[in-house]
Structure 1
Amino acid sequence: MAIHHTAVLVVEDEALVRMAIAGELEEAGFEVFEAANASEAIELLIAHTQIEVLFTVIDMPGGVDGIEFAAAVRERWPSIKIIATSGHRRVDIDTLPVEARFMAKPYNPDLVILAIMEMVATGSSP
């Protein structure tokens, strides 16, 4: 199924988890970029202006967690849709930037794909 080449940036520090969801998204027709941390992700966002969706883990190593990272992305690239995920904690939607979604791990890749399609189609997230 073609998704009109929507570009998605997957930020996940666990390589196998990142590769798995990236593979699922590619099979669904998305153009996928991968980063292991916020620094790599920022470099990709700067270099690839076609990125429309950020799928990021909240609990990442380094000085910035996923919530802070998502807020920074929302501020610099307000049109990017954001989905945050965590297997260690539940996140209140009020903690995330405006128009972001939360998905608990383990997540269903089909639901991730559906959420991305909805967010891109509507131009925002509920």
Structure 2
Amino acid sequence: MASPCVLVVEDEALIRMMLADQLTADHFCVVEAENADVAMAMLRDRPEVSAVITDVRMPGTMDGLELARQISTCWPHLKVFITSGHITVGDPNLPPDAVFVPKPYTAGTFAKLLSQALN
């Protein structure tokens, strides 16, 4: 069985790489995008993606919340996790089925959440 594929969307390269490395070590397939615009293009080209982890604040034409809304509309089957160290996002601002995870998070946080959501 193939490992679930996760798209990590984070403009801070070090955070993105650390999360990608941790998820790879936890046996996930990981693809990376530095902003929501790149993520949208990747989602159109990568149907194997099962989940998206996105930061809220990023450069580009949309932030992580708008990305999550677009995913909810275009790819409603994808699991979406939204994270931020600057703001707290409550349920009224989250798309259906999206989960907010505040920064900082521990190394195993997303592996556990993804395993629960994708099984």
Q: Is the 8 A contact 1:58 1:86 kept in 2?
A: yes
Q: Give 5+ residue unaligned stretches, structure 2.
A: none
Query: TM-score, normalised on structure 2?
Result: 0.96
Q: Is the 8 A contact 1:4 1:29 kept in 2?
A: no
1:90 paired to 2:88: yes
1:59 positional shift: 0.8
1:4 positional shift: 4.3
Partner of 1:70: 68
CA distance in 2, matches of 1:69, 1:25: 21
Partner of 1:61: 59
Query: Structure 1 segments of 4 or more deviating over 2 A?
Result: none
CA distance in 2, matches of 1:20, 1:72: 26
Q: Spell out, residue by residue over 1:10-67, the C-alpha distance to the aligned partner (whole angstroms, 9 max, x if none).
A: 0000000000000000000000000000111111111110100000001111221111
CA RMSD of aligned residues (A): 1.1
Q: Give 5+ residue unaligned stretches, structure 1.
A: 122-126
Partner of 1:80: 78
Query: TM-score, normalised on structure 1?
Result: 0.91
Identity %: 37
Q: How many aligned positions are there?
A: 119
SS at match of 2:22: helix
Q: Is the 8 A contact 2:37 2:61 kept in 1?
A: no
1:78 positional shift: 0.4
1:24 paired to 2:34: no
CA distance in 2, matches of 1:105, 1:19: 15
Counterparts of residues 1-126 of structure 1 (less than 5 Å): 4-121=2-119
